[in-house]
């Protein structure tokens, strides 16, 4: 691989799970604004719920999520009281107008909850919101937490998709990231959720971890494929010790360089595709009949804070500390501090402390970037049809940047601006260049988060 391509892979650019990205959120969007956005939902709106569980019983050193380790359950019990209070407040403001299409439990480790607390949380959600028939319930699972009682509890709340973090099966890599998890443990959980009727299993794999080699990545992928997951997410490890202090436990000398990271990612992707999976966007893979693959082929794939999704809702309500909500009007993020979050949601309060309201140009830029991230292309005709004069104005800038700038980012195919196949691994960098040059002086360009 050319060295300049390896350098581009190492660029610090946003993940673009939202636009504008989180560094542009500000304190002008607060609980009062969020309250108004919740009350403005329409009767027929479809919504998604995200519930954040900000605790783990063991901290993985590679993790960049908003979580903390606890060896005692009392803080979790206290937190769940706050989460139930926030659910009550939000549901009273929604007042039955939204219809829940999807629920995602993330963290942290949602599966460290006691079985009775998992069931209670599922019950209060269904009692507080109107669920559409066939609503999807996704749960991030830590295999080290799991037992039959928790598997039964997840089945009782209607889990339809289990997402398991694998990272790497090599014991040396696992020791270096403080995440020991055998293949047998993982297989036992996969078999357990499937025996309880769960229709979809997702596995998360990582490359670029300490002590990883192409051989260890190939071995992990081969083992993961024997479990026949419906989806696979293949992420690159982001080493950000200035942002997550526990990552200082990982010696940077153990990390593969940019060229090796790229080789690992390409090897893994080829191995997955060779087994019949379809590549979805930048880093996901799915069996051809999976909803994610169907959406990708239909051009209806979307991207949100959980990554790629086939969900078409306009509203995502985030519950719990640090959670981000997405509304037609903009984004609102909750207080990250668990203790302060608890104080804010007590007695009917909301916890939103920052966010951003969307301008028309933000919507146009966001649509272009999402299509690049999902389809590696966007249609000039659709852009103008959707956004009118604002779309036409941004199209001129996009054309200049894409086709005539020094980088020559895209190719023109009829009315479609297309990312060349060899540049697709770097689509985030391409999106960042659009972000930077769309509007000089007020560009939304930001560092990765």
On whether the CB atoms of residues 338 and 54 are closer than 8 A, the answer is yes
CB within 8 A of 316, min separation 6: which ones?
47, 48, 49, 50, 304, 305, 324, 325, 326
Residue 263 Cα to chain centre, angstroms? 24
Distance CA 277, CA 295 (A): 14
Q: What is the 3-class SS of 24-44, one letter each residue? A: HCECCCCHHHHHHHHHCCCCC
Alpha helices in 275-420 (DSSP H): 291-298, 338-345, 360-375, 380-399
Instruction: Give the pLDDT of residue 440.
Output: 45
Contact assessment for residue 112 and residue 145, using Cβ atoms and an 8 Å cutoff? yes
| pLDDT on residue 279 | 97
Structure-token match 């809702």, residue found: 313
List of residues 6+ apart from 372 with CB closer than 8 A: 378, 419, 427, 430, 431, 434
How far apart CA 439 and CA 55 sit, in angstroms, is: 40
- Taking only the tens of pLDDT, the chain with its 449 residues reads 444 554 555 567 888 999 999 999 999 999 999 999 999 999 989 999 999 999 998 888 778 888 888 999 999 999 999 999 999 999 999 999 999 999 999 999 999 999 999 999 999 999 999 999 999 999 999 999 999 999 999 999 999 999 999 999 999 999 998 999 999 999 999 999 999 999 899 999 999 999 999 999 999 999 999 999 999 999 998 888 887 888 888 889 999 999 999 999 999 999 999 999 999 999 999 999 999 999 999 999 999 888 899 988 889 999 999 999 999 999 999 999 999 999 999 989 999 999 999 999 999 999 999 999 999 999 999 999 999 999 998 888 777 767 665 556 788 899 999 999 888 988 988 888 878 776 543 444 443 33
**Closest to 190 in 3D by CA, of 217, 165, 158:** 165
Q: How far apart are CA 11 and CA 14, in angstroms?
A: 9
The answer to whether the CB of 148 falls within 8 A of the CB of 192 is yes
d(CA 163, CA 193) in angstroms, rounded, equals: 10
* Close Cβ partners of 111 (under 8 Å, ≥ 6 residues apart): 118, 139, 140, 141, 142, 145, 146, 150, 154
Q: What is the DSSP letter of 404?
A: I
CB burial of 137-149 (b: ≥16 within 10 Å; e: otherwise) equals: bbbbbbbbbbeee
Q: Is 368 exposed, middle or buried (0-12, 13-18, 19+ CB in 10 A)?
A: buried
Strands 200-207 and 99-107 come out as unpaired
**Rounded CA gap, 430 and 1, in Å?**
19
Per-residue pLDDT at 1: 43
The residues, ordered by sequence, that sit 6+ positions from 62 with a Cβ below 8 Å of its Cβ are 167, 177, 179, 206, 209, 237, 247, 250
Cβ atoms of residues 37 and 318 within 8 Å? no
Position 312 scores a pLDDT of: 80
* Owner of token pair 């219809």: 99
| Cα 6 from Cα 263, distance rounded (Å) | 9
Q: 374: number of CA atoms within 13 Å, CB side?
A: 27
Quick check: helix, strand or coil at residue 299?
coil
Give the per-residue pLDDT at 10. Answer: 52
Q: Are strands 315-319 and 307-309 parallel, antiparallel or unpaired?
A: unpaired
3-state secondary structure of 8: helix
Q: How far apart are CA 221 and CA 180, in angstroms?
A: 17
Q: CB of 443 within 8 A of CB of 435? A: yes
Q: Which residues are CB-neighbours of 185 under 8 A, at least 6 positions away?
A: 143, 144
Query: What are 182-190's contacts with CB under 8 Å, separation 24+?
Result: 183/223, 185/143, 185/144, 186/143, 186/227, 187/227, 188/143, 188/146, 189/141, 189/143, 189/146, 189/151, 189/162, 189/164, 190/162, 190/164, 190/227, 190/229
Does the N-terminal peptide bond of residue 20 adopt cis geometry, omega within 30 degrees of 0? Answer: yes
């Amino acid at each position: 691989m050319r060295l300049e391509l390896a350098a581009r892979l190492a660029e610090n650019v946003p993940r673009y799970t939202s636009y504008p990205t989180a560094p542009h959120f500000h304190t002008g969007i607060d609980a009062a604004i969020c309250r108004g956005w919740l009350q403005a939902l329409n009767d027929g709106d479809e919504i998604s719920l995200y519930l954040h569980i900000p605790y783990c019983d063991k901290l993985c050193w590679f993790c960049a999520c908003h979580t903390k380790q606890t060896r005692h359950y009392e803080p979790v019990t206290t937190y769940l009281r706050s989460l139930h209070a926030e659910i009550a407040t939000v549901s009273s403001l929604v007042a039955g107008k939204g219809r829940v299409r999807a629920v995602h439990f993330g963290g942290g480790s949602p599966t460290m909850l006691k079985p009775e607390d998992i069931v209670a949380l599922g019950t209060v959600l269904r009692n507080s919101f109107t669920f559409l028939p066939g609503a999807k319930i996704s749960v991030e699972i830590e295999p080290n937490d799991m037992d039959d009682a928790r598997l039964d509890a997840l089945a009782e709340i209607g889990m339809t998709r289990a997402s398991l973090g694998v990272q790497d099966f090599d014991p040396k890599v696992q020791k270096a990231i403080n995440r020991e998890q055998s293949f047998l443990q993982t297989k036992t959980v996969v078999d357990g959720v499937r025996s309880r009727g769960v229709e979809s299993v997702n596995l998360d794999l990582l490359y670029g971890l300490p002590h990883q080699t192409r051989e260890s990545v190939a071995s992990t992928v081969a083992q993961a494929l024997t479990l026949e997951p419906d989806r696979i997410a293949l992420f690159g490890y982001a080493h950000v010790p200035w942002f997550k202090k526990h990552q200082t436990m990982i010696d940077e000398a153990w990390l593969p360089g940019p060229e090796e990271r790229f080789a690992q990612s390409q090897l893994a992707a080829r191995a997955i595709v060779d087994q019949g999976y379809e590549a979805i966007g930048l880093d996901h893979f799915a069996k051809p009949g999976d909803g994610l693959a169907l959406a990708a082929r239909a051009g209806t794939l979307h991207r949100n804070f959980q990554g790629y999704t086939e969900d078409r809702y306009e509203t995502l309500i985030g519950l719990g500390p640090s959670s981000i909500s997405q509304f037609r009007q903009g984004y609102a993020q909750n207080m990250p501090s668990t203790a302060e979050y608890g104080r804010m949601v007590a007695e009917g309060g909301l916890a939103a402390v920052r966010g951003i309201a969307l301008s028309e140009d933000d919507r146009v830029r966001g649509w272009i970037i999402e299509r690049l991230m999902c389809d590696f292309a966007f249609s000039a005709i659709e852009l103008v049809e959707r956004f009118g004069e604002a779309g036409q104005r941004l199209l001129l800038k996009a054309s200049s940047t894409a086709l005539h700038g020094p980088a020559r980012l895209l190719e023109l195919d009829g009315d479609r601006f297309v990312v060349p196949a060899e540049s697709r691994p770097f689509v985030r960098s391409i999106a960042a260049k659009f972000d930077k040059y769309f509007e000089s002086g007020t560009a939304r360009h930001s560092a990765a988060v």
